[in-house]
Structures are given as structure tokens and as C-alpha cells.
Amino acid sequence: MKKLELRHVGFLWSELKALVGSPPFILLTLLGNGLICLSAILFYLIEEGTNPKVRRFMDALWWAFAPATTTGYGDITPATDAGKVLSILLMLLGLAIFAMYTALFAETILASKNTGDEGA
């Protein structure tokens, strides 16, 4: 097993900084955050007045992060069928977005490793 050298860590760090500023990463971040905000707005409009756990927008925003990140915190759950459908859609889209993030990071790390191996 090769010993990790400081120059490899520095190179990986510069690659990750470049990734965070790349158009695909920025687009994915904007889409993910936009999806969470839009879902929170829709959830609030659907559930407010029906769901006793949704009294203010912050409750809906808190709810939106749970299915989007698939943590399933569960303190706020949908009471309506429309809210349940929205939850399912947000879970599926959240999984897809996190898979794309994982692919971007993996691509960066593998490219960094390959470049580092060639220079050794």
C-alpha cells in the first residue's frame, strides 16, 4: 500500500476546491436547494390548517429536509394524501440528487488519484 504523501493531499484539496466552483456542482446545489424550498412551500400550503404539526413555514422547511436527505426524522409527517405524494416525490428526487453529488466527488477523487499516480 502506498504511503499518502502531503503533495497528494494538497493536490486533492485543490481538485475539491475546483469541484465546488464547477458549473455542474453549482447547478446541482441550486437545484437541490430550490427543490427543498419549493417542496417546503407546497407542503405548507397543503398541510397548514390540516396538520397540527405545521403551524408556520419553518415547520414545513424542517419537514422538507427530512425526506430530501432521507433521514426520516419523523417529527412532522404529512396528514393529507397530497402531502404524502409530495413526500414520496421529494424522497426519490433527494436520493437522485445525493447520488449525483456522490458521482461528482468520486469522479474528482479518482481523477486526482490517477493524476497523482502518473506524476509519481
Residue 120 has pLDDT above 60, yes or no: no
61-102 per-position pLDDT tens digit: 999 999 898 787 789 999 999 999 999 999 999 999 999 989
Residue 9 has pLDDT above 60, yes or no: yes
Whether the CA torsion 87, 51, 80, 49 is positive or negative: it is: negative
32 vs 54: CA distance, rounded Å: 22
- Per DSSP, helices labelled H in 1-120 are 6-20, 23-47, 57-68, 81-119
The CATH number fitting domain 25-108, selected from 3.40.50.150, 1.10.150.120, 1.10.287.70, 3.30.750.200: 1.10.287.70
Burial category of 89 from C-beta neighbours within 10 Å (exposed 0-12, middle 13-18, buried 19 and up): middle
Sequence-distant (6+) residues with CB within 8 A of 111 are 15
Burial category of 39 from C-beta neighbours within 10 Å (exposed 0-12, middle 13-18, buried 19 and up): buried
118 vs 33: CA distance, rounded Å: 37
Cell of 49: 390548517
Query: Within its chain, how far is the Cα of 118 from the centroid?
Result: 33
Residue 111 has pLDDT above 60, yes or no: yes
